[in-house]
Structures are given as structure tokens and as C-alpha cells.
Structure 1
Amino acid sequence: MLDIAEELHRWVEQGREFAVATVVAVGGSAPRQPGAALAVETEGTVIGSVSGGCVEGAVYELCQEALIGGGCVVERFGYSDEDAFAVGLSCGGVIDVLITPVLADSPARGALAAALSTAAGGGATAVGRLVAPPGLLGQALHIRPDGSHEGTLGAGDALDRTAAAHARAMLDAGRTGNVELRGGAGENARGAQVACVDPSGEPLTLFVESSAPPPRMIVFGAVDFAAALVRVGAFLGYRVTVCDARPVFATSARFPDADEVVVEWPHRYLERTEVDGRTVLCVLTHEARFDVPVLALALRLPVAYVGAMGSRRTHEDRARRLAEAGVGDRELARLRSPIGLDLGARTPQETAVSIAAEIVAHRRGGTGAPLTGARTPIHRDIARESSAASASAASTGPGRQGGAVRTVP
């Protein structure tokens, strides 16, 4: 749906009613991926596509029916259908399509409108909608990059918080797909206790649609440790840039997994490149002439993470030099140095895992401690814990296991 956000946002602004069909799962040789959408407004105007043409007619009819009846439904199209050659996918694939009417009084209209407005403006946003069980279709949750959300899935605050946490993780990586939600309970809008699972015991299936460029990882220092970190960063879904002032080391041949290799003084590159609240900066140069200028700038930027490699003695010398350069105590406290978690890492590959683990823990609010024997939640609700802490709450309630993320291929 967010792939046609600009047109849909215009329809919302004009007060038009429409139904949107969104691909929520694919199998085999399907022509479009999850998130592809087709929308039909009340006068019959169509925008977008869900299959490149082979099932558009049938989806169009389902959207018209949704506009008349106001119902939300998931329909499967595939080569295995009896009428495969009539409305199925002749390519042999299978697609599941969620049909959602967006009428003036639709409960999901507000959340969808907010997400469409953000996506149309080029901002990062995510939408969560349940695709199973059938009885809970029709609601929507709009999730922002900081984890805050609006709207509801209609089954209580506990489910909304769990869904928002999973959706934020997928938004961070710019991914679209399905998440299974298990366990937990909360209150619905009427104050009644509701479970976060279908009465049959089956998990709820949440479709998360993200609209955001991948987060950036900028690695300063074209060293062996950087090569390993680049590979791990790419695996985690970052768009990775390597920057070093030495052209003999900063080459694409040495860093084939990097999206970009830049030959420039680190601080000068950081001055001109775009960063945001999801960007992570890893300084591996291990030389004061490179480290200090780039860190003095990095610690003043609104980025997610700043780490620097070096021994504890190197860190002490670096901290002194940064203080002399005008970096204050509060800014210096943001620096993760020595970089990484204590895993006993020795090799570049092990060190890369150590750094990546610290980045994930910092982003998700983890402690880095072993889970064995711990009583803390496995999946932490950072937004909720921050709110509880600021309000001096006595307890945040029992931990929730959450569900495993299953991204549709």
C-alpha cells in the first residue's frame, strides 16, 4: 500500500473513499512482492497493481464489493486454483491479497491516513494490519521510527505494544513481511480483558509494511576489522559505507560487501553526508589524527550509535583529546569505547559480532547479559519502559516472550 502512498494520500486529502488490495504473502514465481497494492475508489478509478495483470480483474471486483459491503477479507490467488487460467497466476505462483475498505467511518482510516501522509512526504513509517484470524481484520496501526504508534489492532493495548515493537524492528531494516504474535493479554477499548491469540490457540498474523530507506552504517577506517564489520552490517540490513582518507586501503576490491567506498578524510565526509536517528557510526581508524576530528563531530549529531575501537589506554587518551577539542562530558558519555561487547573476541570476525551485538543491544534496550537464568523480558518494550521510568512506576508488569519474526520471501 505504501508503494502508492502519494496517490492514496491525495485521495485521503480529497475526502474520497476507496478500497485497497495489498499483497501480504507470496509463494513460488509470483510477479509482485509483499506490499504491492492496487486501490479502487468509489467512482471506479484504479491505481497500482498486485500481479502485473493476471488477477487484476478479480481483485478489482473484490475491491468494489468491499466498498459496497464494507468488509475486509484475505483472498488467495494461485496456479492451484480450479479457475487458474481465468483469474489465477499463470506463472505458477501464489499470492495472498488483503482487501481493506477505507471509508469515511472506517476504524483504520486515521492510522492509514497518517502513514500515507508520512510516506508520501518521504519519511520513514510502517503500517501493521492483522491478516489472521479473519475475525480481527479491518484495523490498522501506524508505527513511527521511534516506536510510538497510533491506531489500534482492536484487541487491546498489550497486542498493540507487541505489534509496534515488532513493526519498529522491521521498519529499522526497511523490511515488509509477516510476524506471528503469541501470548500476552490486555484490555480492549471497553476495558475487557482480551488475549493476544485467537481463541483456537493459533497465533495472530500481523502484516507489517515498511516505507523507509535502509538505515546507514558508516565505518571509518579501511582495516581488516572493517571488512568483517561490513559483512555483518550488510547482513543486519544496513546500507554500509566505508570511508578512509588513504586510497591504497579504501578500495571496492577490499570491501566487496560495502554499498559505497569513499576516499576522504572521515570528518569531512561526515560533514557533508546525510545521517539520521537510525544511523550508526563505527570509528575503527585507531589513529588520533583521524579519530578525534570525526568523533568530535559525530558526538554532536542525532545518530543512533557512535563507537570507536581501541584499548582502554587509547580510550583514555582519546577522551582527553576530545575534551581539549571542546567535547563536553554529556556528549562524551554517548561514545561507546572500547567498541563492542565483552565476548572475548580475538579475530576480526569475532570482533565484528561483538560490535554488532552492542549495536543491537543499544537499539533494542538489551543488557548484553546471558538470557540463561535471567528474569528480564526477552523482547523489551523500550517505549513502555521509558514511560514507566519517567512516571516512577512501581512495576512494568510481567515480561512477554513475543513472537518470532517471519519475513515473507
Structure 2
Amino acid sequence: MENIYDILTLLKCSKPKAVLATIIEVEGSSYRKEGTSMLLLENGEKAGVLSAGCLEEDLFQRAADFFGTSKSATFTFNMKSEDDLLWGTGAGCNGIIHVLVQGIDEKLRKHLLTLGEFLKHGKTVTVVKKITHDLRVSHYLFISEDEYVFGEWEGAVSPNVKKLMLYGKEKSGVAFFNEHASYVYVHCFYPKPRLLLFGGGEDAIPLARLAAQTGFSVTVTDWRRSYCHREAFPLADELIVSFPHEVINKMTIQPKDFVVILTHNFQRDQEILSLLGKKQLQYVGLLGSANRTKRLFEGREVPPYIYSPVGLSIGAEGPEEIAVSIVAQLVQQQRLAVRESRTSA
């Protein structure tokens, strides 16, 4: 999912000078799409990827002049060229990629860290960058979903641009705005989707790990302390040792949250479903067969947001493979939710 979190983590704890590289336009096919970013540090460290290793080394060389400055430029990588196997079909790509490189000065660093705080608190943030005729950034602006504005922007923001920032764009990329007589690059940053796991058994361990590595904020809860501890779930954002009714009544559960129930206890599962029935949720996955789910609902209609058996049907066996099938379904549903939110705005 969004690699901005790895970028912001490295930026926050690093002292070396840094450069932000972003794919702003793709012609044809590429490994990553518009909106993908990468952080390059002067000491060689990096966060995020723009390709399958095809252009990163060359990009680092080009970025040398940008460290410690506020300069920017756009570089074009023609992956269709057959002159060199690294850049041609031997690289497995068949597109032209336009990468915007920005030196991170103190102002931009401050604004990127502010972006991180909004994402941390569950707020969606959109960035607009005004692109000059020579493909540099002249101004940029961030706006949160609750209309907090920050950045470096001269003059008024046109109503059309502000509307685009507030209600999103179906696809990240560059568009021309007559009001500003220039192109602007637009990208929407989404907070990490939250995954709440009820049950901390052996099958929850690889699920929590893979979900966290895929970009979810993971909370694991179990009423048994021996099942819910940091050694088993090192990547979880939160561990809660408590009974289901205590967790659900105290937590602020949002409609866009994801839940997977895997307590292996029929009565506990029924209790959790009953408590969650009062909430609006994006996704609830139930471990077990469809017949077991029918028994859990005692003949009542199963809501459409209940996924049972949980996970995509890939013939998964064992905790690791089941975790792969579940996380694949979580990513699928998250992508659909983002797409629907954009088109309905």
C-alpha cells in the first residue's frame, strides 16, 4: 500500500540531507504507478521503491545536486528503449516514467512531518504541486479532509483545485488548470487502514505480521494474556488483553475499519458478532466454514460485509497460506473502498 509511512519514518529519524522522488506520470506500463514515492538520503539510505531496481541507481546519481536544497526537476526514464537490456524489454517494463525529484529543505521536511501527524490521526490529506513549464515545482500545498491547509503557495487557490483536493481524484497524476495557467500534480494520501484481530492464536501470528507489512495498522485483542503478547506480535500497533465486550464498548470503531474474528470459540464469536452488529464496518472476516457462520447467526440473514470463509479462495492450507489469502482479500477490499470513495465524491 502507501509507502509514505516508510518514507516519513526514515525522514523523521534521519539527519542526512534527503531527496523525495515521485512518479508523476506513466506512459504505457510500469512496475509502479503515479503517486509512488521514494526517499533518498545523501548517505545512501532509502525508503520506498519506484521500480524493480531498474532506475534507482541512476536516479540516485541524478539526485546528487538536490541534497540540502529546495531545487526540483523532472527526469524521464524510457523503459521501452532496447539499446540496453537494463532499460529495455530485459527489465520487464514497457513504459515511459516521469519522476519528479525534490530536494527536502527544512520547510518541506516540516510539512512532510505534519502530513505524517494527520495520517497518524486517521485523516486523509491531499497534496497539490504546481508544475512550471520546465517541469519544476514552483509551489505546493497540503489540505486535510477537515480543511487544514499547510505548505508553500503564493496567491489564492482556485475553487476547482480546492475542490479536487477536498474530494479527491480517481487517479494520481498531472492535470492542467486554466485558472493557474499551469499543470498541477495531485495525489491523495490515505491513513493506514486499521485491522482489528479478535483472537491471538497461532493462525493470528502470521496474519498480523503480513497485514502490518502490507500497510495495515494492526490491533490484536484476546482475553487470554498468554495469547496476546509482544513476543508473538512484534509488528502490531496495539495489543489489548480484554474480553470482547470490554474492547468493543471502549474502542472507537470506524466504518472503514477491518475486522477478522479467529478466536476458535463459538460462543465468543457469537458475542463479538452481536456486539459488532451495532457498528458500521467495512469488512468482517470469519474463520470457519459457511455452515458455521449460518449457525453463528442462528438463521438470521448474514450481512453483506461478512466474509466467510474468510480470505480469497486459493486452496490455502496452514496458518501462513491462510494469512496470505486473508491479506489478499483485505487489500482487494481496501482498493475497492478507496475507488468507491473517489468516484462518489
Q: Which ranges of structure 2 fall in alignment gaps of 5 or more residues? A: 1-17, 22-38, 48-66, 75-100, 147-158
Please state if 1:230 is matched with 2:208: yes
- The corresponding residue for 2:82 is none
- The corresponding residue for 1:394 is none
Q: How does 1:259-270 map to 2 (within 5 A)?
A: 259-270=237-248
1:245 to 223, 235, 248: 223
Please state if 1:161 is matched with 2:170: yes
Bigger Rg, which one: 1
- The corresponding residue for 2:41 is 28
Residue 304 of structure 1 and its aligned partner are, at CA, apart by: 2.4
In the aligned structure 2, how far is the partner of 1:305 from the partner of 1:288?
20
- The corresponding residue for 1:291 is 269
In the aligned structure 1, how far is the partner of 2:252 from the partner of 2:73?
41
Amino acid at match of 2:331: V
2:161 to 147, 152, 155: 152
| Partner-residue secondary structure (3-state), 1:224 | coil
| Partner-residue secondary structure (3-state), 2:218 | strand
Q: How does 1:361-376 map to 2 (within 5 A)?
A: 361-365=332-336
TM-score under structure 2 length normalisation: 0.55
Tell me how many residue pairs correspond in the alignment: 243
Q: Is 2:20–2:40's contact at 8 Å kept on the other side of the alignment? A: no
Deviations 1:18-44, CA, capped at 9 Å, x for gaps: xxxx9745423479999xxxxxxxxxx
Deviations 1:42-95, CA, capped at 9 Å, x for gaps: xxxxxxxxxxxx95xxx7xx8xxxxxxxxxx6389xxxxxxxxxxxxxxxxx96
Deviations 1:205-241, CA, capped at 9 Å, x for gaps: x5758585x4321111122211111011111222212
Amino acid at match of 1:27: L
- The corresponding residue for 2:127 is 128
- Give % identity: 23
**Are residues 97 and 74 of structure 1, via their aligned partners in 2, closer, same or farther at CA, if it must alter by over 3 Å?**
farther
Amino acid at match of 2:334: R
TM-score under structure 1 length normalisation: 0.47
Q: Which ranges of structure 1 fall in alignment gaps of 5 or more residues? A: 1-21, 35-53, 63-72, 77-93, 101-111, 164-180, 197-203, 324-328, 367-379, 388-409
Residue 300 of structure 1 and its aligned partner are, at CA, apart by: 2.6
Q: How does 1:60-79 map to 2 (within 5 A)?
A: 74=72
In the aligned structure 1, how far is the partner of 2:120 from the partner of 2:332?
31
Residue 162 of structure 1 and its aligned partner are, at CA, apart by: 1.1
Q: Is 2:200–2:263's contact at 8 Å kept on the other side of the alignment? A: yes
Amino acid at match of 1:28: L
| Partner-residue secondary structure (3-state), 2:232 | coil
In the aligned structure 2, how far is the partner of 1:317 from the partner of 1:340?
19
Please state if 1:318 is matched with 2:296: yes
In the aligned structure 1, how far is the partner of 2:194 from the partner of 2:163?
34
Please state if 1:332 is matched with 2:330: no
Q: How does 1:46-125 map to 2 (within 5 A)?
A: 74=72, 96-97=103-104, 119=118, 124-125=123-124
2:340 to 375, 382, 388: 382
In the aligned structure 2, how far is the partner of 1:317 from the partner of 1:74?
60
Amino acid at match of 2:257: T
Please state if 1:344 is matched with 2:315: yes
- The corresponding residue for 2:25 is none
- The corresponding residue for 1:303 is 281
In the aligned structure 2, how far is the partner of 1:247 from the partner of 1:209?
39
- The corresponding residue for 1:103 is none
Deviations 1:342-361, CA, capped at 9 Å, x for gaps: 11111211111111121122
Amino acid at match of 2:170: R
Q: Is 1:340–1:357's contact at 8 Å kept on the other side of the alignment? A: yes
Amino acid at match of 1:308: L
Q: Is 2:73–2:137's contact at 8 Å kept on the other side of the alignment? A: no
